[in-house]
């Protein structure tokens, strides 16, 4: 059921396009032949609008199918992303350690300077 979803979505997209377009033609025929006064302009607009909606729906479904198919064809993509994330995590950890070491060095220097200043004031 969940195998080859990309191709299934593409088939569904093409099927939806055909069904929606046929439905718009059927609706236009209903406008042509119903009522006392045939509504030709409305029927033509229904065909054009129905084609556009059918095309847009089919296009979206086919694009989604191609994206799913592309994701299915790259099983190593998850491991590559995980590897990059792990590498980035190590770099962030290293950066944080460097910042902490620099802060500790700066604090130690400030403490030493404060002690030296205090000793100088005691000697005077």
User: How do residues 82-118 score in pLDDT, each as one tens digit?
Assistant: 788 888 899 999 999 999 999 999 999 999 998 888 8
Mean pLDDT of 53-76: 85
Where helices occur in the chain by DSSP H, the ranges are 5-33, 40-72, 77-123
Q: Give the confidence band of 75 by pLDDT, cuts at 50, 70, 90.
A: low
Q: Give the confidence band of 72 by pLDDT, cuts at 50, 70, 90.
A: low
Please report, for the chain, the start and end positions of each structural domain, with discontinuous segments joined by +.
1-73, 75-124
* Distance between CA atoms of residues 67 and 21, nearest Å: 24
Q: Give the confidence band of 74 by pLDDT, cuts at 50, 70, 90.
A: low
Contact 43, 31 (CB under 8 A): yes
Task: Give Cβ neighbours of residue 118 (< 8 Å, ≥ 6 apart).
Answer: none
Q: What pLDDT shows up at residue 77?
A: 64
């Amino acid at each position: 059921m969940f195998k080859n979803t990309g191709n299934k979505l593409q088939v569904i997209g093409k099927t939806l396009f055909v069904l929606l377009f046929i439905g718009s033609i059927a609706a236009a025929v209903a406008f042509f032949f119903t009522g006392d006064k045939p509504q030709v302009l409305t029927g033509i607009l229904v065909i054009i609008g129905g084609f556009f909606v059918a095309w847009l729906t089919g296009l979206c479904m086919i694009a989604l199918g191609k994206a799913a198919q592309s994701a299915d064809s790259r099983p190593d993509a998850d491991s590559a992303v995980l590897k990059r994330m792990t590498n980035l995590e190590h770099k962030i950890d290293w950066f944080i350690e460097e910042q902490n070491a620099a802060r500790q060095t700066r604090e130690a220097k400030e403490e030493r300077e404060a002690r030296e200043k205090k000793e100088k004031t005691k000697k005077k």
